[in-house]
């Protein structure tokens, strides 16, 4: 604490991201990164970029990227907002729409940054418990709210809900903003983008960090009707005129354009996720049905802490949350097939699992 800090920041409880180890020779399955490099076309774009142009400011409107996303999603470009990672897009979203007299409603278990933003912007949150099988149960979300946010598929569970469930919510909740955070949607869930045209209060947020292999480049975006996008632009232009650098705009645009590479790498990850789930099940794990690039699994007898430590001793990193109710689950990112084979071998050497 410092006497120089604004009163409100003394109570902040910052988000803690997964570890980014500096050493190599680690099998890193802890932060849901894509095991495949960015598209070769992205790498070529960066190699060919006329870096002498970096003396100039980047385009404050990121026009190339907005245009590319607009074409990709078949939405007008005034339906597109971009930011420095989907975390920045989320932060601006909380500022723009959720500082409301009624509390923001969200799942009790979801991306933990949502509570951090509430804290940052002094927003009251109301948490609705997950339903059966760790599902987000939107039918229990109260009609009196200052906005609704949930991830689909949800994190850290990996479980997706259907578009029908989201549409039903949107039909009865028309007066406040509903945000669907689709960070993982490309790995097997249905996107709510198709609902934007008929729902002016729907904002869909996605990222290039997962399915487009660009976590290190920091690009996320939001899609919604122009009045929501204009609200985000007001906040963005009161915060930082140029959130995306020139190389981020160029590489993200090319990543969106290379649909073939995207589909090929996503398919491999889905295949290896299904293989991994089968293997884990046969080792005595309960594996939640995943629509993401990770699996969330608990063993019938071994504790989450012990398993995480056992893997760590073999230089395999997975993520573990000490939150009650999920303290025995591991969140395991899907890497390459050989990485997943190493994970399974690593688990097999744990006493209770070596049968």
For residue 207, state whether it binds its own copies (rule: CB under 8 A).
Answer: no
Distance (Å, rounded) from C-alpha 8 to C-alpha 121?
9
Residues 6+ apart with CB under 8 A from 48: none
Closer by beta carbon to its own copies, 225 or else 279: 225
Its sign, for the CA torsion 220, 226, 228, 233, is positive
What's the min distance (Å) between Cβ of 176 and its own copies? 7
Beta strands 27-29 and 285-287 are unpaired
For residue 209, state whether it binds its own copies (rule: CB under 8 A).
Answer: yes
- Give the footprint of its own copies on residues 241-280 (CB under 8 A): 241-248, 251
For residue 35, state whether it binds its own copies (rule: CB under 8 A).
Answer: yes
- Give the footprint of its own copies on residues 110-139 (CB under 8 A): 116-117, 119-120
121 contacts 95 by C-beta, under 8 angstroms: yes
- Give the footprint of its own copies on residues 325-354 (CB under 8 A): none
What's the min distance (Å) between Cβ of 302 and its own copies? 29
Helix ranges (H only) for 211-303 are 226-236, 246-257, 259-282
- Give the footprint of its own copies on residues 138-197 (CB under 8 A): 175-177
Closer by beta carbon to its own copies, 178 or else 311: 178
Closer by beta carbon to its own copies, 201 or else 279: 201
Closer by beta carbon to its own copies, 26 or else 163: 26
What's the min distance (Å) between Cβ of 61 and its own copies? 8
Distance (Å, rounded) from C-alpha 145 to C-alpha 142?
7
Total binding residues toward its own copies, as defined by CB under 8 A? 88
Hey, is 277 helix, strand or coil?
helix
Closer by beta carbon to its own copies, 206 or else 328: 206
Distance (Å, rounded) from C-alpha 353 to C-alpha 183?
33
What's the min distance (Å) between Cβ of 348 and its own copies? 27
Distance (Å, rounded) from C-alpha 350 to C-alpha 180?
39
Minimal CA–CA distance to 327: which of 347, 312, 307, 354?
307
Hey, is 252 helix, strand or coil?
helix
What's the min distance (Å) between Cβ of 347 and its own copies? 24
- Give the footprint of its own copies on residues 55-114 (CB under 8 A): 55-60, 63, 84-85, 87-88, 91, 95-100
Closer by beta carbon to its own copies, 37 or else 142: 37
Distance (Å, rounded) from C-alpha 110 to C-alpha 183?
12
């Amino acid at each position: 604490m410092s006497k120089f800090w604004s009163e409100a920041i003394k109570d902040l409880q910052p988000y803690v991201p997964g570890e980014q180890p500096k050493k190599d020779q680690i099998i890193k399955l802890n932060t849901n990164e894509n095991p495949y490099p960015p598209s070769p076309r992205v790498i070529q774009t960066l190699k060919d970029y006329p870096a002498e142009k970096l003396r100039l400011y980047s385009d404050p409107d990121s026009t190339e990227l907005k245009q590319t996303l607009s074409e990709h999603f078949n939405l007008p470009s005034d339906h597109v907002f971009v930011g420095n990672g989907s975390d920045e897009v989320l932060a601006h979203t909380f500022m723009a729409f959720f500082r409301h007299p009624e509390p923001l409603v969200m799942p009790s278990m979801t991306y933990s940054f949502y509570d951090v933003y509430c804290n940052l912007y002094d927003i009251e949150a109301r948490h609705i418990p997950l339903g059966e099988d760790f599902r987000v149960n939107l039918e229990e979300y109260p009609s009196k709210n200052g906005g609704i946010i949930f991830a689909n598929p949800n994190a850290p569970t990996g479980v997706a809900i259907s578009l029908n469930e989201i549409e039903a919510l949107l039909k009865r909740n028309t007066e406040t903003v509903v945000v669907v955070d689709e960070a993982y949607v490309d790995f097997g869930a249905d996107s709510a983008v198709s609902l934007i045209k008929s729902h002016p209060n729907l904002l869909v947020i996605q990222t290039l960090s997962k399915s487009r292999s660009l976590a290190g480049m920091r690009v996320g975006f939001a899609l919604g009707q122009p009045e929501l996008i204009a609200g985000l632009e007001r906040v963005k232009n009161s915060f930082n005129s140029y959130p995306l650098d020139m190389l981020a705009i160029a590489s993200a645009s090319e990543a969106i354009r290379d649909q073939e590479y995207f589909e090929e790498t996503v398919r491999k990850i889905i295949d290896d996720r299904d293989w991994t789930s089968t293997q884990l099940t046969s080792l005595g794990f309960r594996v939640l049905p995943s629509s993401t690039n990770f699996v969330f699994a608990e063993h019938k007898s071994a504790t989450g802490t012990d398993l995480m430590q056992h893997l760590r001793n073999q230089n395999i990193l997975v993520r573990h949350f000490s939150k009650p109710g999920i303290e025995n689950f591991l969140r395991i990112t899907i890497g390459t097939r050989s990485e997943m084979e190493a994970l399974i071998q690593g688990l097999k050497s744990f006493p209770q699992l070596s049968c």
